[in-house]
Amino acid sequence: MEAPTGEVRVGAKPTMNYVLATVIQFNQGAKNVVLKARGRAILKAINAAQITVNRFLRDQVEIKDVKIGSEVVGEPDKPRNISTIEILLERK
Amino acid sequence: MEAPTGEVRVGAKPTMNYVLATVIQFNQGAKNVVLKARGRAILKAINAAQITVNRFLRDQVEIKDVKIGSEVVGEPDKPRNISTIEILLERK
């Protein structure tokens, strides 16, 4: 059976919360963890990914893929675009 | 001769300045343009890339690759890490 892909949605909490959520998922056996964020949380997701691969799981996990996109949010009569990111981490 | 790769360094100016810089480089014949940013300018670079591919050069240019990394900045006795992004756009 293939190891599951974990998911961490990055939002308003401190960066380190998302680092720990990511590390825990790898420690529980995930082969991949994807960090997802929108708008102003994007920088936090990138920082959390960097801290995970350069500090906590150095030489064990790598950034496999980064996708950026956009979503429409807001009221139906006042739609606006918000940028999104998905950072795929993979155990080496 | 291969078409040159343009470069746009995204910083403190309004997002639309970087969109226009990118569009101009494609209009001058670039096959690729790479948007580079660090820290808080990262979200602006992503927004500029999205506006370029979804609005100004829709169906003409696509996001080919996204790389994230980190750099050490600050005084030698007080180094700190800053996240970086490089967004490669390519004419279809």
At A51-68, the pLDDT tens digits run: 999 999 999 999 999 999
Closest to A50 (Cβ–Cβ): which among B46, B47, B81?
B81
H-helix segments, chain A? 15-27, 41-51
Write the ipTM.
Answer: 0.90
Listed in sequence order, the residues at least 6 apart from B73 whose beta carbon sits closer than 8 Å to its beta carbon are B38, B79, B80, B81, B82
Closest-CA residue to B86 (of B46, B31, B40): B46
Identify the closest residue of chain B to A84 by CA–CA distance: B46
- Per domain, the residue ranges of chain A are 5-91
Confidence (pLDDT) at A2: 62
**Contact criterion met (CB < 8 Å) for B46 and A85:** yes
Q: Kindly list the distances between the CA atom of residue A63 and the CA atoms of A60, A92, B9, B65, in Å, as whole numbers in the listed order.
A: 11, 10, 23, 13
- For residue B67, which residues of chain A lie inside 8 Å, CB to CB? 66
Confidence (pLDDT) at A1: 53
Q: Please say whether the structural domain A5-91 has been given the CATH code 3.30.70.1890.
A: no
Per the listing, tokens 């350069």 go with: A54
Does A21 score more than 80 pLDDT? yes
At A35-50, the pLDDT tens digits run: 999 999 999 999 999 9
Question: What does pLDDT average to over chain A?
Answer: 95
Confidence (pLDDT) at A74: 87
Does B1 score more than 60 pLDDT? no
B15 lies within 8 A of chain A by CB: no
B40 lies within 8 A of chain A by CB: yes
Confidence (pLDDT) at A25: 96
Tokens for B47?
Answer: 């927004």
